[in-house]
Amino acid sequence: MPEKTKHELKTQFIGKKILFLKDTPSTNDIAKKLASKGAEAGTVVVSEKQSNGRGRLGRRWLSPEGGLWFSIILKPRIKPNEVFKLTFLTAVVVVRTLRKKFKLNAQIKWPNDILINGKKICGVLSEIITNPSGLINFVIVGIGINANIELNSFPKHLQFSVTSIKSELEKEIDCEDLLYTLLMELEHYYLLLLDGGFNLILEEWKDLNCILDSYVEIERLDGTINGQAVDVAKDGALLIKLENGAVVRVISGDVILKRFDKTH
């Protein structure tokens, strides 16, 4: 797998150096260590499984063998409050790839989940390391895709809320080929971002989402919000229209879709 991927990957820098692992606690953690030791931007860490994968807010992300678990080291010249842009562009890349390669009706759920028919198939986790002055040293973008995973390998309480590519297609897919395609697409969108093209990425994100125009419940640390998701601001905030007509900004929280009003 490593030799073939490196040989075929026609990117400028993403994936020029790839570390392939059989098992690791977390590809994000390995990538952080490599970055702190001077690893080049575009370095990728891939593992067949993770024993301590994590999602947002430090939650555990089950990463059994059969999935595609990888992290990318990036060193963009952006402010810490702009890191959400990397999460957004990565979500766009994953959805585009799943649709194009497998004809799957993948959609984005704010802020970082990829769904198929309402079931989670992929998550994205961006983590930053800053220097003492508060500027970004590097960003680790972690991607976890349920590729060739049997759904019965998940705990019973998750089996109705998650899915996998294998389950949707009823056959296994080539994870190497999927990784290759994702890295190519990621570099394209990353360079677009660095060239000032985030507005184009955001518009594509909106076109590929499953949340705008739908009624949602958002669980936050300070309580629950119910309303209609009407837009996503340029700073990544989700705009919710309440029953009284007021519009509130949501920066973080868990979104529960109460009704799908938007289809693609």
Give per-residue pLDDT as tens, 136-155: 999 999 999 999 998 888 88
Query: Residue 258: which pLDDT band, with cuts at 50, 70 and 90?
Result: confident
Identify whether 6 is part of a domain.
yes
In which domain, by residue range, is 85 found? 2-208
Q: What is the domain count for the chain? A: 2
Are 160 and 116 in a shared domain?
yes
Give per-residue pLDDT as tens, 192-226: 999 999 999 999 999 999 999 999 999 888 889 99
Are 17 and 88 in a shared domain?
yes
Q: What is the DSSP letter of 13?
A: S
pLDDT in the model for residue 221: 82
pLDDT in the model for residue 6: 54
Asked if 231 and 212 count as a contact pair (C-beta separation under 8 A), the reply is yes
Are 132 and 188 in a shared domain?
yes
Give per-residue pLDDT as tens, 157-204: 877 889 999 999 999 999 999 999 999 999 999 999 999 999 999 999
**Residue 167's CATH number:** 3.30.930.10
**Residue 233's CATH number:** 2.30.30.100
**Residues 115, 61: Cα–Cα separation, whole Å:** 15
**Residues 98, 174: Cα–Cα separation, whole Å:** 13
Q: Which residue has the tokens 């993770």?
A: 50
Give per-residue pLDDT as tens, 109-134: 998 899 999 999 999 999 999 888 88
Q: What are phi and psi of 181, to 5 degrees?
A: -65, -45
The tokens describing 209, both together, are 């989402």
